[in-house]
Amino acid sequence: MNIKTTLLLLCIALLGLSACSTQTVKSTTITEALIEQNNIPEDELLDIGVAVFNPGFDEIDDDQQELTFGDVRMAETYYVANMLSDTLQSTGNWGVVRVIPNDLSSSDLAVHGTILQSDGETMLVHIKVNDSSGRVWIDKEYEEVVSRYSYDNRLQGSRDSFQGLYNRIANDILRYRQQNLEREDLLNIRTISQIQFARSFAPQAFDQYLSTDRNGILQVQRLPAQNDPMLSRIETIRERDYLYVDTMQDYYSNFVRQMEAPYTEFRRLSYDEVMKLDRLQRESRRNMILGIAAIVGGLASTQSNSSLAGVGTYAGILGGGWLIKEAFRAGDEALLHVEALAELGQSLSNEVAPQTIELEERSVTLSGNVESQYEQWREILADMYANEIGMPVSSEDV
């Protein structure tokens, strides 16, 4: 490789590193949640099920691997779902909003989320919202980048640092309903969710009431009689299911309350560490750029025959090599901060240990297997329904 080619490659590398040195613009303005101005008839209020968020481990970018801690992320799946649920409920734009651990097929509106990034500075989530008919309302990513002021209690009070993100999600869900659905659509969604729940317990009896169009959207084929005894039993079962899920809300709320203080402190400290990492990375890039520039200058001077230029050549090349070495040394120091973040994550996981609650004369531990507990409850409901109608119901039906 000749000198000209080497100079060209080094210059390209220099420009590339310069291009990477970008800054994220942060805003201290928080989007407020919208409130429906018109009174919504009670029979049009859609109930919402918010699924416990997916931790997104498979979606983590390489540059985020070091900044993601499994124990913290798993705790966040409950925390973020609960925060979004509380936000939706507080607007008064909907019926009952519940966090549900798994099957949301019988919810009027189902919200599924995946945490893509959460490091104290940036929250990035993917949100998908669909109604009981299968119509997709939202399928997009939401990002919030906060500043240091978001962790100043004098300015934020008790507001979550990423409340603006939850508000924007809630606003988009409301706008979709306002812009796309009429009263008939809302009533149809509620009817479908009712039949969906009944069909999960007695598919043979209730399959006939729904059909699927060519786009995969459920439609009401016909309605069961209002005095249908099977439907009445199903409605009783559904009310009992709501009671259980409402009890779970107490668990989630208690979990979030216990988690709030250590989690807020973790995010504040995490924010500081991320800022240190960012500073070190910027210093590393700057030294790398200066090093490459010095090498480019040193190589360029080899084209001169003067003895002074010769001295400049070796000084430039050696000086550039030293600066690049310093850049990698800064990178090692950055790794120390990553390790500090890992220790913070471990300390948090110890403070959000699972809780045990008493539920209907049963001791239920709600932890990593909340989903399993809810599945067991649905099996209990299936047995209750089977006993009432005098026929066995397979647990696979629920």
pLDDT 10s digits, 252-275: 887 777 777 777 777 777 777 666
The pTM (predicted TM-score) of the whole model is: 0.72
Report the distance separating Cα 169 and Cα 329, nearest Å: 42
Residue 328 confidence (pLDDT)? 44
Mind listing the pLDDT tens digit for each residue in 167-224? 999 999 999 999 999 999 999 999 999 999 988 888 888 888 888 898 889 998 888 8
Low-confidence ranges of the chain (pLDDT < 50): 7, 10, 14, 17-25, 292, 308, 310-311, 313-315, 317-318, 320-328, 330-331, 333-334, 337-338, 341-342, 344-345, 347-353, 355, 357, 359, 366, 368, 393, 395
The pLDDT score that the predictor gives to residue 16 is 54
pLDDT > 90 in the chain, percent: 27
pLDDT value of residue 24: 46
